[in-house]
Structure 1
Amino acid sequence: MSGRDDGDWLEFTAELMREPLTELPLDRVTLMLRETFGGGAVAVNDFRADGTIDGRVLPVEASLEGHRADLDRWGPDNAHTHPIAQYYRATGDVRVMQVAEVPSTLVDLRAYGEGAALLRDCGVGQQLAFPIGPGPAPRTLVVGKPEVYGPGEMTLAHRVWRVLNGLDRQARAYAAALRNSSAAGRDVASAIRLTPRERAVLGLLAEGLTAGAIARRLDIAERTVHKHLERCYSKLGVADRLTAVLAAQRLGLVA
C-alpha cells in the first residue's frame, strides 16, 4: 500500500465537499484509489438493465503491460463472468470485496478462466471492488494489482467505501436539488450564498423529508441537518420549515 491513508482521504473528502458536485469526479476518485491501494488501473463498471456491463478502464493511457486492447475487446461481452459480479448477482450481498474472498462454491470459475489469465497478463490479477450507489447493481469501481490485498488494506478499503458512498449520495441529492430549481433560483442561491449542502437539504425538505430522513439520505448526522436548516432559515429570512419551503418555491430554489 502506498502512502495514502485515512488522513489523505479526509483531506480529499473535505476538498470535494467544498465543491457543488452533481456526480463523483471519477478521474480524481480513481486516481486516489490507485495511489492508495497500489493499483495499476481502475475499471469503472456500470450494470445495464439487461445484465450486461458497460465498462471502461482509467486512466485512459494505462497500457496494462501491453494488453490494453485485448482487455477492451474482452470486457464488454465477458465482464459478467468476473467472480465478484457473479457473487453480487447470486447473493445480492453488494459490498466491498476482493476476488480472493469470493466463495468458489457460489461462482463458476471455469467461465472466468480466460478473463483471469488476461488480467494476470495485464498485471492486475487481483481485483478489489467498490460498489458505489443505490440498488442491487450499482456502479462498481475495481482496483487491480498483482498481489492479494492484505488485512490492513481491506480495513482501509471498507472505510473508503463508506466515504465514497456518502459522497455519491450527497452528489445525487445536490443534482436533484439543481434539477428542481430554475435558472433564476440558481442566481438567487448564489446571491444569498446558499452552499451546495444547504441547497440539497432545502431541496429534500421541500420533498417532505424529516430531518432524520434527510440525514439518512445524505449520510450525515441529524444535528448537522438542523445546523444547515438554521442557516437556510437565516439566509431566507424565515423562522420555520413551512415558510422556508414556501420562500424557496417563490424564489425558484425548489420546485
Structure 2
Amino acid sequence: MADLSQRDYERMLDIAVAVLESRTPESMWHLVGQEILEVLHATTTIFVDLRWRERTGHTEGWAPEWVGRTPLAELVVRRMEQQHPLFCYTASGQRRPATVDEVCDRMDWLRSDCFHEAYEIYGTTRQMALPLPATGDVIRGFIMGRPGRNFTGRETSLAARLQPLLRSVDIHVREMRRLAGADEGHGEPTDPATKARELGITPRELTVLNVLAQGLTAAAIARRLGISVRTVHAHLNGLYRKLETHDRLSTVLLAEDLGLTLPPAQGAHPRSP
C-alpha cells in the first residue's frame, strides 16, 4: 500500500471534523463529497444507494453543487441497466476501492454507453468506486470521476484508508436522520437536536446518548457507531458534565425528560437499567 503524506491524513481529519460539526444530516454527505473531490483530485463525486436486483436506486448527496442540477436518479438507474463495470464490481461483493481499468477491459469501457454519457455530461474519462459496507444486493458508496490521467495507486490506497472513516460517517448520518424524525411511520417528527444545541451537546454526543438510551453497553455502542470504547467513554463523560449527572441511568432519564431522546416506540431495543 502506497505511503500517505501528512497532508493526506490532515485531509482525512478535515472530513471527520466537517461531519461531526454539522448538525443537519442532509448536508453531511455533501460536505464529505466536497472533501473527497479535493482529497482524490476528482471533478465529480456522487454518493449512491442502489438496489441491484430491483434496478432501483437514488443518490443521497453529491459534489460539486452543479452536479445536483442533472437528473442523477435517472442516470443511476440507467447505469445499472447498462451494467456499469463499477456497479457490477461492487454488486459482486467487492469492497476494495477500484478503478474502471482494474475491473474491465479499457477498450470495452471506451466503447460503452456508460463512458460516452459520462464524458458528454460531466467530461469525465476516468472513474473509481469507493464502496461502503452493505447487506444483500444493496450497493452503497461513492463513484468518483475526472478527465485525463487515471487514478493512481497512491490515490486508491488513500481511498482504502478513508473507508473506515466513511463507514462511521454513514452510521452517524443514519442516526442523525433517525433523531431528526426522518424515518416514516412514527407520527410527528421529534427534534432532540434543537434541545441539544441549547445545552451545548454536540451531534456526536447526542448520537451516543440515544444509543445509550436503547440499553446498550459502552462496548456495544462502540460497535454500533464504529468507534472505540475509549471514545464512547469520552462522549459519556461529556454528557455527564453537560447534564450534571453521574451515571448512565440518571443521564438517560434526564435526557428523556428534556426531550433529547426519541420516544421508546422509536428505539430499536427496550432500555435496561
TM (normalized to structure 2)?
0.72
Q: Identify which of 197, 221, 225 aligns with 1:218.
A: 225
Q: Which amino acid is 1:228 matched to?
A: H
Corresponding residue number in structure 1 for 2:80: 79
Deviation at 1:73, TM superposition (A): 7.5
- Partner SS state of residue 42, structure 1: strand
Corresponding residue number in structure 2 for 1:59: 64
**C-alpha distance 204-97 of structure 1, shift in aligned 2 (>3 A):** same
**C-alpha distance 152-202 of structure 1, shift in aligned 2 (>3 A):** same
Does the 8 Å contact 2:18/2:32 carry over to 1? no
Structure 1: runs of 5 or more not aligned: 63-67
Whole-Å separation in 2 of the counterparts to 1:215 and 1:24? 24
Cα deviation code 1:193-251 (max 9, x no counterpart): 22211111110011122111211222221111112112222333332222222222222
Does the 8 Å contact 1:47/1:54 carry over to 2? yes
Does the 8 Å contact 1:4/1:35 carry over to 2? no
- Partner SS state of residue 25, structure 2: coil
1:125 and 2:132 aligned? no
Whole-Å separation in 2 of the counterparts to 1:187 and 1:23? 16
Whole-Å separation in 1 of the counterparts to 2:27 and 2:255? 26
**Sequence identity (%):** 29
Corresponding residue number in structure 1 for 2:21: 18
Q: Which amino acid is 1:248 matched to?
A: A
Q: Which amino acid is 2:56 matched to?
A: T
Whole-Å separation in 1 of the counterparts to 2:199 and 2:43? 45
**C-alpha distance 220-203 of structure 1, shift in aligned 2 (>3 A):** same
**C-alpha distance 197-38 of structure 1, shift in aligned 2 (>3 A):** closer
Does the 8 Å contact 1:23/1:168 carry over to 2? no
Corresponding residue number in structure 1 for 2:150: 148
- Partner SS state of residue 154, structure 1: helix
Whole-Å separation in 2 of the counterparts to 1:83 and 1:240? 52
Corresponding residue number in structure 2 for 1:92: 93
- Partner SS state of residue 127, structure 2: strand
Q: Which amino acid is 1:143 matched to?
A: M
Corresponding residue number in structure 1 for 2:170: 168
Whole-Å separation in 2 of the counterparts to 1:29 and 1:243? 36
Corresponding residue number in structure 2 for 1:115: 114
Whole-Å separation in 1 of the counterparts to 2:64 and 2:135? 27
Structure 2: runs of 5 or more not aligned: 1-5, 264-273
Corresponding residue number in structure 2 for 1:40: 43
TM (normalized to structure 1)?
0.77
Deviation at 1:59, TM superposition (A): 3.2
- Partner SS state of residue 25, structure 1: helix
**C-alpha distance 59-79 of structure 1, shift in aligned 2 (>3 A):** farther
**C-alpha distance 113-187 of structure 1, shift in aligned 2 (>3 A):** closer
**Paired residues, what number?**
240
Whole-Å separation in 1 of the counterparts to 2:199 and 2:63? 39
Does the 8 Å contact 2:19/2:31 carry over to 1? no
- Report the more deviating stretch, 52-61 or 227-236: 52-61
**C-alpha distance 244-44 of structure 1, shift in aligned 2 (>3 A):** closer
